[in-house]
Amino acid sequence: MLKSIALWLEDRLHIAKLFESTGGHKVPPSTNSWFYVFGSGTLLCFVLQILTGTLLAFVYQPSAGQAWSSLQYLNNEQFLGWFLRAVHNWGSIFMVGIMSAHLVQTFLFGAYKYPRELTWVSGCCLFLCTLGMAFTGQILRFDQDAYWGLGIGASIMGRVPFVGAQLVHLMLGGAMIAGETLSRFFSLHVFLVPGLIIALLSLHLRLVLTKGINEYPKPGRVVKKESYAVEYEEMIQKTGVPFVPNVIGKDLIFSACLIIAIVTCALVFGPQGPSGPPNPTLIHTAPAPDFYFLPIYAALALLPAYMETFLLLVLPVVLLAILILLPFYSGTGEKSHRRRPMAVVIVLLAFLTLGLLAYLGTYAPWSPHMEAWSSAATPAAQVQGRSPLELQGAILLQSKQCRNCHALGGEGGLRGPALDTVATRLTGDQLIRQVIQGSGNMPAYGKNLRPAEVTALVAFMETLRPSYQPAARDSSKH
């Protein structure tokens, strides 16, 4: 009975033939390696995102007025709503992570070289689409961060020459961040970009079948356009093994571990947000992006202002062009990273740069600590034994909000230098000048402080040095 059903299905669907050309296709035995599991891992994440996303859309309201409360409902009232939100969030984090690993692995193994140019190009486009999903998804979590994230996106668009204003309108669906904005980001996140991903993914997988998977590179085995295709075909004929069942084992183990990791993170850390409601009049907020965009957030604070627009609009295009066009200017030659030191250096540099920027982004030393002036205590050692005038200065340093940018005893903003030892660096005259006129990143306070206030403030700061270090002195006066 079962056999006859199977035979009937086989007769109608030609399953054996389909299997032979897909799952059962022959791959080089060298690809049976733990380095080759990231592609299928990314695909699995994508499937998980579709599943959880579709289910979240059962409840989520893509309306600016109600999105935030529907997220609260998902978190607190819908059965397992919090869990699905958490899995969707962690799924996206893992997807970006595993996909980056896939990108780095294919780069280091020279998989982009002849004849797999299109595989690489479609993969890069998939990577961009995935980052697009991360950004639009962050907007759908329609909270304060999402609102001001849109403001940042619009401000970047507004820097485009000639059509800036029009691009802002196109992005926001109007002149303001409002109902239409969320609706179009919903459509992008749920229909347009996933559709594009499925199309690109089909192309990507089709190419894996037609052009074969990259063999594990051996140092010294050089890709030549004249001979590579024939050699690869010969190798497959001689030693090729079917992907299923010979090679898929490691993918399966990795996939299962991946799912377990995502579910564990979801259970332990729970869903992310939403933070405060998307009400722009609640301005006591410090918007910060999700972790994927922390490097950009940091770069935007640290870039020199005069070249910022250029770097914002031109540099990403140039970098992406270099990445996507890689197989067209480096399509042959050595594949193994052991013979491509520059490739290794580039990967290390990219990781260092992104990692360092992301680390800085987590504590944003460039941002004033908005509450430091009213919440941070003055260290006892810095007020003990001070004269009334100096104490007056200590109070002024607090009340004039100096500590939003300057730390004392490790508390306060990091925007300007900490003041604990300022008297060893600047003389009284220099302090007065700096306070009144400002310089560098420090605003001028001349208009906001009365002369007596400046005197008191500087008198206090002149005491800020350790006993074992002399005060700064004006060398012209001796």
Partner 1 sequence: MSETNSDCGCKKATLTKEVPAPSVSRRNLLLKIGAGLNAIAAVLVGVPLLGYALSAFTRTSKNSWISVGPLAKFPEGETRLATYRNPISKPWDGDTAEVPCWVRRIDSQSFQVFAINCTHLGCPVRWFQESRLFMCPCHGGAFYEDGSHASGPPPRGLFEYQHKVESGELKVLGGHLPTLAEPLKKDDM
Binding site for partner 1 (CB under 8 A): 63-66, 68, 147-148, 151-152, 154-160, 164-170, 172-181, 277-281, 283-287, 297, 300-301, 303, 305, 308-309, 366-368, 370, 373, 399-402, 404, 415, 438, 440-445, 447-448
Beta bridge partners of 411: 408
| Cβ nearer to partner 1, comparing 159 with 206 | 159
The C-alpha R_g of the chain, in whole angstroms, comes to: 29
Cα→Cα distances 110→99, 399, 414, 458, 468, Å: 16, 60, 43, 62, 59
Residue 116 token pair: 């797999």
CB 70 within 8 A of CB 78: no
Min dist. Cβ of residue 285 to partner 1 (A): 7
Min dist. Cβ of residue 438 to partner 1 (A): 7
Token pair 């052009």: residue: 211
CB 98 within 8 A of CB 47: no
| Cβ nearer to partner 1, comparing 256 with 444 | 444
| Cβ nearer to partner 1, comparing 157 with 431 | 157
Min dist. Cβ of residue 450 to partner 1 (A): 13
CB 74 within 8 A of CB 84: yes
| Cβ nearer to partner 1, comparing 112 with 460 | 460
CB 372 within 8 A of CB 404: yes
| Cβ nearer to partner 1, comparing 127 with 460 | 460
| Cβ nearer to partner 1, comparing 178 with 354 | 178
| Cβ nearer to partner 1, comparing 282 with 377 | 282
| Cβ nearer to partner 1, comparing 35 with 366 | 366
Min dist. Cβ of residue 169 to partner 1 (A): 5
Burial of 308 (0-12, 13-18, 19+ CB in 10 A): middle
Min dist. Cβ of residue 272 to partner 1 (A): 19
Q: Which residues of 232-256 are buried (b: 16+ CB within 10 A; e: fewer)?
A: beebbeeebeebeeebbebbeebbe
Min dist. Cβ of residue 305 to partner 1 (A): 5
Min dist. Cβ of residue 88 to partner 1 (A): 23
Min dist. Cβ of residue 217 to partner 1 (A): 43
| Cβ nearer to partner 1, comparing 95 with 435 | 435
Amino acid at 315: L
CB 245 within 8 A of CB 27: no
Min dist. Cβ of residue 445 to partner 1 (A): 7
DSSP E strands: which ranges in 25-73? 26-27
How many secondary structure helices (H) and strands (E) does the chain include? 21, 4
Phi, psi of 102 (to 5 degrees): -60, -45
Min dist. Cβ of residue 74 to partner 1 (A): 17
Cis ω for the linkage preceding 115 (within 30 of 0): yes
| Cβ nearer to partner 1, comparing 339 with 400 | 400
| Cβ nearer to partner 1, comparing 38 with 68 | 68
Length of the chain: 478
Min dist. Cβ of residue 421 to partner 1 (A): 22
Amino acid at 58: F
| Cβ nearer to partner 1, comparing 122 with 181 | 181
Min dist. Cβ of residue 199 to partner 1 (A): 18
Indicate the SS3 state at residue 121: helix
| Residue 170: CB atoms within 10 Å | 12
CA 83 to chain centre: 23
- Count Cα neighbours of 59 within 13 Å in the Cβ-side half-sphere: 21
Return the axis-axis angle of helices 164-172 and 179-187, rounded to nearest 10°: 80
CB 250 within 8 A of CB 37: yes
